[in-house]
Amino acid sequence: MAIWLWDDGEEAGPLAESLAMREEDGARRMALSGRIDTQAAAALWARLMAEARKPGAPLLIDLAGVEAVDTTGATLLLTAQSAAQGSRIEGASPGVVAVLDRVRDALAAPRPAVVARRFAPLSGLGRRVVGALNGGVEALAFLGETLVVALGTLIRPGRLRVRELLRHLDEAGTRAFGLAALLGALLGVILAFQSAIPLRQFGAEIFVPSLVGISLLRELGPLMAGVVLAGRTGSAYAAELGTMTVNEEVAALRIMGIDPMALLVLPRVLAGVLVMPVLSLLLTLAGLAGMALIMQLLGFQLNTVAQQLVNFVSLKDLLGGLFKASVFGLAIAIIGCRAGMGAGRGPRAVGDAATSAVVGGIVAIVVLDGIFAVLFERLGL
Amino acid sequence: MSEALDDKAPGPDAPAVIEARDLTARFGTNTLFRNVTFDVRRGEVFVILGGSGCGKSTLLKLMIGLVPPAEGKVAVLGTDVWSTEGASRLDLLKRIGVMWQQGALFGSQTLLENVEMPLAEHTTLPPEARREVARAKLGLVGLSAAADQLPSEISGGMLKRAGIARALALDPPILFLDEPSAGLDPVTSAGLDALIRDLSRSLGTTFVVVTHELASILAIGDRCIMLDKGAKGMIAEGDPRELRDHSTHPTVQAFFLRKAA
């Protein structure tokens, strides 16, 4: 093994060979020579510690033949010394003594206090529950703050950063059109195919357009658009605002007397609310087109499909779906912005914020969808 | 212990551990500096100084192989940084340590784990030995008590010291420090300077320090070179105290006497 140190390119031999043990005046003398650097210490560690832990005569670590040690070598020597009762180090050159002294001080410095272990699963569960409750309260406060800022903007429309709003409408909306159309078309194709199989048994394939139409307009259109928005935009909001929070840009805005809620949050939330109905409508229309294609393949004329849709689907279904989409957009944008603005410190903070934005966004739209289902049923919509 | 050691800087006969020859750095058509030539001697604290934007950090990156020179060569411990690759490059990288301007510690790991990482990667030390060695390195920079903390939980000065501890993990013969005292309070900064000086004298480590902190330059520098943005190159070389007292170059004078240009 080649050994180098501080270096001038010199190499010393394997240090394991330069460790010699002998009994002397009732003590065990361990004579080391050469250079004890990191690689040598790694090679020697197990053997030296085994010698140090042997019971019996005190250990005498003879460093007369040692040219130099680095801090890792010194850690080994001092750890061995402290492991062997009554042992001592001798014969070290001034340079070696200097390194040993420095490392001795370093090892003697107070270490972190060992925290008494609690019952981890229980305390962990408690922490999570309290964290979730606090998170809920903070999210509610954030929603309130956003609404207050939005009301303030209604009174003073000049406060709204239109350019920012347009940028977010573009990023959250127009750039997601392709994805929404593709998902919608595929969804329409899959739904039509899968529903046609059981309906064929009853000769009721003609009802496929009404089934797919109702599903897309009332449920799947807004829901899938919500998933697209949460994945694309909610995470982007959290990452962007999270990075700004970590870099203290948000704090800088506050200190400059600029309300970050008005500058950063409001345009994003408005964009979320405004683009979602459009995304949902696009996804639904693409889905209906996909369904129509399958119906044609099954031998139905387009006008038959259209007639069937008109008979079963009303404007109420469409408007209800679009309203739901807007509420989903509000929830996703609020959750994304809140995750970013509440990001912690360090590089993990941004990743954590993006993850919680996506997970929170998707969970929120599913919960809201359930609430809407009950509400619409009660209201007879 | 220090009294047993020679506290003097290595003499001119000390061998060069870094040889930079006619280095030129260029970004696009913009030349940052040209024809920079110097030697760094073994065991000295070598300071690269100059005003903001003169290319100090670029010169450091050029020496550690992160930025390629437009022209010229740089050899570290006898190895040409830009012509070596594979195992010999890895061997060279194990023999240098770098403290980055912001510490560059891994945020998901405690300070102890940060320092342990190079030991786990490049040595055969058993795990308990690694932990003990890592604790010793943190102790060297006065961070024993913070060993179990995350980088996000400590101050800027502690981050820099932890960066030095990690750079020291493999006891490299050369340590590169990028702006070690920038943004620190004078007391922390002076403590860091004392640490650099002590490690240099007691361990014989060569330090290459990029800084524009005047107090640090005078406290730790054995020799220095000064880069200048206007001259696009090196305008002075020597003992920083002598440069302060005897240089007739107006930019050097302005720098040391803190005069506005």
ipTM of predicted assembly, 2 dp: 0.78
What are A256-295's pLDDT values in tens digits? 878 899 889 999 999 999 999 999 999 999 999 999 999 9
What are B71-124's pLDDT values in tens digits? 999 999 988 888 887 788 888 888 888 888 877 888 878 999 999 998 988 888
Which of A1, A4, A38, A96 is the best mutation test for B, with the most CBs of B within 10 A?
Answer: A38
B77 contact A CB<8A: yes
Lookup result for tokens 């203290």: A248
> Which candidate from B145, B148, B205 shows the least CB-CB separation from A6?
B205
Six token digits for residue A196 = 């046609």
Q: Which of A115-119, A163-167, A281-285, B187-191 has the highest mean pLDDT?
A: A281-285
Question: Are the C-beta atoms of A192 and A295 separated by less than 8 Å?
Answer: yes
Are A110 and B170 an interchain contact pair (Cβ–Cβ within 8 Å)?
Answer: no
Whether residue B4 is predicted with pLDDT greater than 70 in this model: the reply is: no
pLDDT at A14: 45
- Residue A98: list chain B partners with CB under 8 A: 1-2, 4-5, 201-202
Are B139 and A5 an interchain contact pair (Cβ–Cβ within 8 Å)?
Answer: no
pLDDT more than 90, % of chain B: 33
Which of B6, B203, B205, B207 is the best mutation test for A, with the most CBs of A within 10 A?
Answer: B203
Sign of CA dihedral A360, A365, A367, A368: positive
pLDDT more than 70, % of chain B: 95
> Which candidate from A43, A109, A348 shows the least CB-CB separation from B108?
A348
Are A107 and B135 an interchain contact pair (Cβ–Cβ within 8 Å)?
Answer: yes
If DSSP codes are grouped into helix, strand and coil, which group holds residue B74?
A: strand
The Cα of A346 is separated from the nearest Cα of chain B by a number of Å equal to 5
Sign of CA dihedral B103, B108, B109, B111: positive
> Which candidate from B133, B205, B206 shows the least CB-CB separation from A75?
B133
pLDDT at B261: 54
Q: Provide the mean pLDDT of chain B.
A: 86
The Cα of A139 is separated from the nearest Cα of chain B by a number of Å equal to 24
Total CB pairs under 8 A between chain A and B: 130
| Residue B225 CB-density burial (10 A; 0-12 exposed, 13-18 middle, 19+ buried) | buried
Question: Are the C-beta atoms of A73 and A41 separated by less than 8 Å?
Answer: yes
What are A72-109's pLDDT values in tens digits? 999 999 999 998 888 888 888 888 888 888 888 888 88
Side-chain half-sphere CA neighbours of A48 within 13 A: 32
| CA closest to A9 among chain B residues | B77
> Which candidate from B2, B129, B140 shows the least CB-CB separation from A71?
B140
What are A107-139's pLDDT values in tens digits? 888 888 776 666 678 888 888 899 888 888 888
B95 contact A CB<8A: yes
Are B204 and A43 an interchain contact pair (Cβ–Cβ within 8 Å)?
Answer: no
One DSSP character per residue, B90-104 reads HHHHHTEEEE-TT--
CB atoms within 10 A of CB A84: 23
Whether residue B253 is predicted with pLDDT greater than 90 in this model: the reply is: no
C-alpha–C-alpha distance, residues A265 and A261, integer Å: 5
Are A72 and B171 an interchain contact pair (Cβ–Cβ within 8 Å)?
Answer: yes
Nearest of A213, A193, A180, A178 to residue A321 by alpha carbon = A213
Which of A4, A35, A37, A45 is the best mutation test for B, with the most CBs of B within 10 A?
Answer: A45
Question: Are the C-beta atoms of A252 and A221 separated by less than 8 Å?
Answer: no
Tell which A residues from 288 to 347 touch B, by Cβ distance under 8 Å. 344-347
Side-chain half-sphere CA neighbours of B172 within 13 A: 29
Which of B44, B158, B202 is the best mutation test for A, with the most CBs of A within 10 A?
Answer: B202
Q: Which of A34-38, B92-96, B223-227 has the highest mean pLDDT?
A: B223-227
If DSSP codes are grouped into helix, strand and coil, which group holds residue B246?
A: helix
List, in order of start, the domains of chain A with CATH numbers: 18-108 (3.30.750.24), 155-379 (no CATH)
pLDDT at A92: 87
Are B171 and A71 an interchain contact pair (Cβ–Cβ within 8 Å)?
Answer: yes
- Residue A101: list chain B partners with CB under 8 A: 1
CB atoms within 10 A of CB A131: 10
The Cα of A75 is separated from the nearest Cα of chain B by a number of Å equal to 6
Which pLDDT band, with edges at 50, 70 and 90, does A241 fall under?
Answer: very high
- Residue A104: list chain B partners with CB under 8 A: none
Sign of CA dihedral A60, A65, A71, A73: negative
Q: Which long-range contacts (CB under 8 A, 24 or more apart) does A139-147 make?
A: A139/A334, A139/A335, A139/A338, A142/A334, A142/A337, A142/A338, A142/A341, A142/A342, A143/A334, A145/A261, A146/A261, A146/A265, A146/A266, A146/A269, A146/A334, A146/A337
What are A180-214's pLDDT values in tens digits? 999 999 999 999 999 999 998 888 889 999 999 99
pLDDT at A116: 65
Tell which A residues from 337 to 366 touch B, by Cβ distance under 8 Å. 344-349
C-alpha–C-alpha distance, residues A300 and B210, integer Å: 77
What are A341-377's pLDDT values in tens digits? 988 776 678 899 999 999 999 999 999 999 999 998 8
Whether residue A10 is predicted with pLDDT greater than 50 in this model: the reply is: no
Whether residue A8 is predicted with pLDDT greater than 50 in this model: the reply is: no
- Residue A68: list chain B partners with CB under 8 A: 204
Are A38 and B123 an interchain contact pair (Cβ–Cβ within 8 Å)?
Answer: yes
Whether residue B183 is predicted with pLDDT greater than 80 in this model: the reply is: no
- Residue A14: list chain B partners with CB under 8 A: none
Distances in Å between the Cα of A14 and the Cα atoms of A1, A36, B119, B178, B249 are 6, 10, 19, 35, 52
